[in-house]
Amino acid sequence: MEPHLLAVQSAFPPHTIGQEDAAKHARMLFAGRRDIDRMMPIFVNTGIDRRYSCVPIEWYLEPHGWKDRTELFVSNAVDLLERVAHALLDEAGMKKEDIDAIVVASTTGIATPSLDALIVERMQLRRDIKRLPIFGLGCAGGVVGLTRAADMARALPGAKVMYLVVELCALTFRKDDLTKSNVVAAALFGDGAAGVILSTDGDGPTFGASGEHTWPDSLNIMGWDVQDDGLKAIFSQSIPALVGAEFKTVLNAFLQKNDIKLSDIEAFACHPGGAKVLDALEEAFGLPNGALVDSRETLREYGNMSAVTAIVVLQRMKLRDNPRRTLMSALGPGFSTAFLMLNPE
């Protein structure tokens, strides 16, 4: 029995940051870089118009430590997750007592008790609910976390599994970090939350084959470097080149293992890591440039929300209304890629 997609929803914090405004503040904050004028076009080339932030843009101008960042992370993350959870229950026509298991993924902050425990307490979910917190998957967390939720639904036939993901990338910004990675992060990342309810009972698209690949000797491509005042972004400029050179081989291995033809895939729900990454993915999938419309529009409207973004792309595609054989994919720290198939019921 395969799990069905019963609901998919998202929520965003209140502060909107236009890309022009972000560029203006970045030029001021990164004035210490001699090559800042040469780097400023990155704010245009990302393909992003705006992003959402859990803090106003003035917050970025002041120094912040672990205590400040963590308090803001926990408060805003739980608020956003609660909004997503209520929207999911409304869409699925369920009560909170119907949820048997909860999976929560995030990589942009820490919380112990974990976010799943906090949302169980906030919403007064069932006391026997099964919980699975996931940390450290970065941008791949949307697809990998959803895969783990689907695995749980298969192991618990009939159970209603709620998968939630939240990323508050804004809170990792460090104004005195003049590295290129921090400039790229300032141009690219946004905040948001999303989620899914799935179960072997119900109707809608079904979750099928999944797969992952972790490249050797790639730990320094993406991740966090823990500093005294917060998390420092590790963000290699080689990601588009790696995707262009090696992603297709990994993709073909996944398809062959699961007896899937690339020509049979009708739609792609790809995490939009950036405009150049999307260019490389389109080439790997044999698509014309610009074909990944839902991924590009999600990037344009929300920026890269790390693990949240792939779920927002999935929501944008409205597969429950227009079911298609769809491949989800994402890249993240490890350095890894993840695949997940959704099939018409």
Residue 219, pLDDT score:
84
Residues 247 and 119 in one domain: no
Q: Are strands 101-106 and 130-135 parallel, antiparallel or unpaired?
A: parallel
Residues 190 and 236 in one domain: no
Residues 16 and 154 in one domain: yes
For the segment 285-306, what is each residue's pLDDT rounded down to a tens digit? 999 999 999 999 999 999 999 9
Residue 31: pLDDT over 80: no
Residues 107 and 50 in one domain: yes
Give, rounded to a whole angstrom, the gap between the first and last alpha carbons of the chain. Answer: 12
- The region of weakest confidence among 52-61, 68-77, 94-103 is 52-61
Cβ atoms of 24 and 58 closer than 8 Å: no
Instruction: Choose between 122 and 38: higher pLDDT.
Output: 122
Domain end, chosen from 165, 199, 233, is at 199
For the segment 213-237, what is each residue's pLDDT rounded down to a tens digit? 998 888 888 888 888 888 887 777 6
Residues 120 and 246 in one domain: no
Residues 286 and 308 in one domain: yes
For the segment 235-259, what is each residue's pLDDT rounded down to a tens digit? 776 777 787 788 889 999 999 999 9
Residues 283 and 161 in one domain: no
Residues 184 and 219 in one domain: no
Domain of residue 141, CATH code: 3.40.47.10
Residue 181: pLDDT over 80: no
Instruction: Catalogue the active-site residues.
Output: 139
Domain that holds residue 335: 206-343
Instruction: Choose between 44 and 314: higher pLDDT.
Output: 314
Residues 185 and 238 in one domain: no
Residues 321 and 229 in one domain: yes
Residues 174 and 224 in one domain: no
Report the number of distinct structural domains present in the chain. 2
The conformation of residue 237, written as its DSSP 8-state character, comes to T
Domain end, chosen from 144, 172, 199, is at 199
Over its C-alpha atoms, the chain yields an Rg (Å, rounded) of 19
Residues 326 and 187 in one domain: no
Residue 33: pLDDT over 90: no
- Give this prediction's pTM: 0.93
Half-sphere exposure of 208 (CA within 13 A, CB side): 20
For the segment 263-277, what is each residue's pLDDT rounded down to a tens digit? 999 999 999 988 888
The identity of residue 207, as a single letter, is F
Domain end, chosen from 168, 199, 230, is at 199
